[in-house]
């Protein structure tokens, strides 16, 4: 297991521990006063709706980032499959002299 995988598993364990131990009267903020620790638990991720598989009792949702990302990726996939993205305005094209010199795009030079 890589160091990064271990870090991720440790963070998941913290989230689950706090979620399972939380009651109506005790919140993670009561247990952990350090904002860095709270942020590392993913509370921001939960609050903006980036994670939608579960919602601990102590989290209030302020957004739907997960749904926004799914819609954005679906739109991107649709546009690329239809050939409408990227358009000429959204592309950087090499001039003909450079294209020929490098033998790009089926130019006569190989």
pLDDT tens-digit readout, 19-68: 655 544 555 555 555 455 555 557 778 888 888 888 888 888 889 999 99
Short-list 81, 84, 52, 80, CA closest to 68: 52
More confident residue, 83 or 104: 83
Provide the residue ranges of all domains of the chain, joining segments of one domain with +. Answer: 3-47, 65-102
Residue 37: the pLDDT is 52
Q: Is pTM, for the whole model, over 0.85?
A: no
Residue 59: the pLDDT is 83
Question: Which sign does the torsion angle of CA 13, 14, 15, 18 carry?
Answer: positive
Q: Is 91 exposed, middle or buried (0-12, 13-18, 19+ CB in 10 A)?
A: exposed
């Amino acid at each position: 297991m890589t160091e990064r995988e271990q870090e991720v598993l440790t963070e998941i364990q913290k989230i689950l521990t706090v979620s399972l131990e939380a009651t109506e009267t005790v919140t993670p903020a009561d247990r952990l006063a350090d904002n860095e620790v709270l942020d590392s638990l993913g509370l921001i991720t939960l609050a903006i709706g980036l994670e939608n598989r579960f919602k601990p009792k102590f989290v209030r949702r302020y957004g739907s980032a997960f749904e926004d990302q799914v819609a954005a990726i679906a739109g991107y996939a649709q546009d690329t499959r239809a050939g409408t993205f990227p358009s000429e305005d959204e592309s950087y094209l090499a001039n003909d002299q450079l294209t020929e010199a490098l033998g790009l795009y089926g130019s006569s030079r190989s």
